[in-house]
Structure 1
Amino acid sequence: MDSIKHLIYTLLFTVMTVACITPPDNFPSVPEIVFEKLEFVNTSGADSLMVTIGFRDAEGDIGLNPTDINPPFNAINFIRDAGGSVITYSQRPPGAPNYNRLDWAINPTINNQVFRDTVWVEQNPDHNNIFVKFFIKRNGVFQEFRWEDPPFFTTFNGRFPRILPDNRTQAVEGSIRYNMLSFGWESIFRNDTLRIDVQIQDRQLNKSNVVSSPELTLNQITRR
């Protein structure tokens, strides 16, 4: 089984929060996060890489529910030709990418109707609210490991649900545990020295600061 077939992943989310009724003076309007923990858990199925971050925010407008899919939280944007029509795979112009899961959508819904073809798209980064980058140390220097590139054409960016159940404004603080499952962690990274960077975004599209894990190996963070 090649590596791309071996990399089957799922994202799970656990959100633990404490809401503050009276916002402290130092709570930021833009989300503020701190790195807390990174763990690797071997299982009989897919292995789990779990990152935990602490957060605080003055308005509490953090998180997206499954129903939050209208702009600006739509998943994809359609690339169109000069006449405004979507571009299908069979009519793709020179220079268009070959088929992959990020650049092409099969039978997408356009204007509330299923368009039965494969259509050129671009991913909307604002569909997600947590962003994770991976880095591998090579010759003493960290280089980004881009899941979006061949052969994987995927991402570990994702969503965590709303912290507050409605749209009220209320200061919140707590922890987010973001759980990434894959069959490929050990086969891809082995004994490499890694670092991950994490950032979140609120519903006003304000991005938090970026936090980094310490440099580590999977063996060092394996839960035993």
Structure 2
Amino acid sequence: MIEYKNHEFFISSPLEIRMLKIEMTFRDGDGDIGLNQEDTLPPFDKASPFYHNLWIELYSLKMGNIEDTFNFNARIQNITPKGQVKSLEGEIQYEIPVDGLADGDSIRIGMQLVDRALNVSVKALSPDIRIQFPQ
């Protein structure tokens, strides 16, 4: 399970790229979250959708309707705990560039997490977010 928690807009240094940091919480009963660096054979090869295990979609909104969708998928490293109790819960922070969007534009973020058994979480959605960068 994955859920939206919070977000923050910031300008990265030294290139001054406009960025969005998304905070998500997750829970996994089996604890099989994340991939090892050598996990590149099927089903985790680059041609597979499971090469990435964090699926992020940024939806550009116009009058509350989705106008464009941008994918910012990532690979989360293996965080399976040692020992017999494998249940995991925690927080993921992920940063994406949003240079092409202007202050006042609205977006929504879709998030899904995939475990090593290829179980895909239900898509979590952020509320509508109005872009506002610090001055």
For each residue in 1:132-151, what CA deviation from the matched residue of structure 2 results, as whole angstroms up to 9, or x when unmatched?
112122233233x234xxxx
How do residues 43-122 of structure 1 correspond to structure 2 at under 5 angstroms? Answer: 43-44=12-13, 45=15, 46-76=17-47
Q: RMSD in angstroms over aligned alpha carbons?
A: 2.1
Instruction: Report if the CA contact (8 A) 2:8-2:21 is conserved.
Output: yes
1:127 equivalent to 2:57? Answer: no
SS of residue matched to 2:22: strand
**TM-score of the two chains, using structure 1 as the length reference:** 0.53
Of 92, 101, 106, 1:189 maps to 101
- For 1:116, the equivalent position in structure 2 comes to none
SS of residue matched to 2:116: coil
Of 115, 122, 126, 1:209 maps to 122
Taking a change above 3 Å as real, the CA distance of residues 56 and 201 of structure 1, as seen in their structure-2 partners, is same
Distance 1:169 1:135 in 2: 37
SS of residue matched to 2:78: coil
SS of residue matched to 2:88: strand
For each residue in 1:159-189, what CA deviation from the matched residue of structure 2 results, as whole angstroms up to 9, or x when unmatched?
1111126696611111111122x3xx23x21
1:178 equivalent to 2:94? Answer: yes
SS of residue matched to 1:205: coil
Instruction: Report if the CA contact (8 A) 2:34-2:77 is conserved.
Output: yes
The one-letter code of the counterpart of 2:37 is: P
Return the index of the structure with the highest Cα Rg: 1
The one-letter code of the counterpart of 2:56 is: V
Out of 127-136 and 157-166, give the one that drifted further: 157-166
Q: 1:43: Cα distance to partner?
A: 2.4
The one-letter code of the counterpart of 1:189 is: L
SS of residue matched to 1:126: helix
For each residue in 1:99-157, what CA deviation from the matched residue of structure 2 results, as whole angstroms up to 9, or x when unmatched?
xxxxxxxxxxxxxxxxxxxxxxxxx21101011112122233233x234xxxxxxx411
Instruction: Report if the CA contact (8 A) 2:54-2:75 is conserved.
Output: yes
- For 1:40, the equivalent position in structure 2 comes to 9
Instruction: Report if the CA contact (8 A) 1:38-1:213 is conserved.
Output: no
- Identity of paired residues, percent? 31
SS of residue matched to 1:61: coil
Task: Give ranges in structure 2 of 5+ residues lacking alignment.
Answer: none
Higher strand proportion, which one? Answer: 2
Matched residues, number: 132
Task: Give ranges in structure 1 of 5+ residues lacking alignment.
Answer: 1-31, 77-123, 148-154
For each residue in 1:12-70, what CA deviation from the matched residue of structure 2 results, as whole angstroms up to 9, or x when unmatched?
xxxxxxxxxxxxxxxxxxxx112111111112323332111111111100011221111
Instruction: Report if the CA contact (8 A) 2:58-2:72 is conserved.
Output: no
